[in-house]
Amino acid sequence: MSRSYRLSPAGRRNNLLMIAVTMLLWVFALWSFASTLRLSLHPAAFWSDLQRLFAQPPAIEQAAPALLLFVLIVATPLLIWNLIAEWDAAFTPADDGLTYEAMGVRLWCPWEDILALRPSPAVADEAIVIACRRDLAEAIANPLLRWLHRQAHGRQRLVIGPDIAQRDELVAQIEQAMARTQGRPDVLAVGHAPSA
């Protein structure tokens, strides 16, 4: 049971395309934000433009789009981080539990701590959420990495994306291990058939 499951080649292509588009969106939002508020992005002129902006606040027709663009400027790097973490993610089932690795983070969840897989049964184009008994991110020492992990997965859960190669096989292994350790014969009888 020591095989790692990662993003499929098609999933990597899609992920790379989404990263590129998201980076372009961030550059566009930054440029539009500066243009809307008439801010220079050159470091020498930026501070004087910022002081002018505070001395003369923008009108509502400038402030509303600027606020929306500011939200994009802040949120887009989080999306890029999540896409890169998905690119790097590896799920490794073992006899004693499931290991998740991405971006220097390594989390281990014993089978006893997995409460459920949602949705059940799995839908092909939908992410599968592993509901856990405890917050796995507590094991991450770095507070920034812990926060970023929680932004991507949430508390007490791990997410298996739809583009993980041989995802049905991974889900079947998780369900069978849960059934063995939690004594749930219904899952053993109904479990997913591994994909070819």
**Residue after which a domain boundary falls, among 51, 72, 87:** 87
Which residues span the domain enclosing 133? 91-190
Q: Which long-range contacts (CB under 8 A, 24 or more apart) does 31-37 make?
A: 32/65, 32/69, 33/66, 33/69, 33/70, 33/73, 36/62, 36/65, 36/66, 36/69, 37/62, 37/66
Over residues 21-52, the pLDDT tens digits come to 999 999 999 999 989 988 887 877 888 888 88
Over residues 129-185, the pLDDT tens digits come to 999 999 999 999 999 999 999 998 989 999 999 999 999 999 999 999 988 887 654
Does residue 111 lie in a domain region?
yes
Same domain, yes or no, for 101 and 185? Answer: yes
State pTM to two decimals. 0.79
Give the whole-angstrom CA distance, residue 181 versus residue 142: 31
Structure tokens at 36: 């809307």
**Residue after which a domain boundary falls, among 36, 59, 87:** 87
Same domain, yes or no, for 24 and 56? Answer: yes
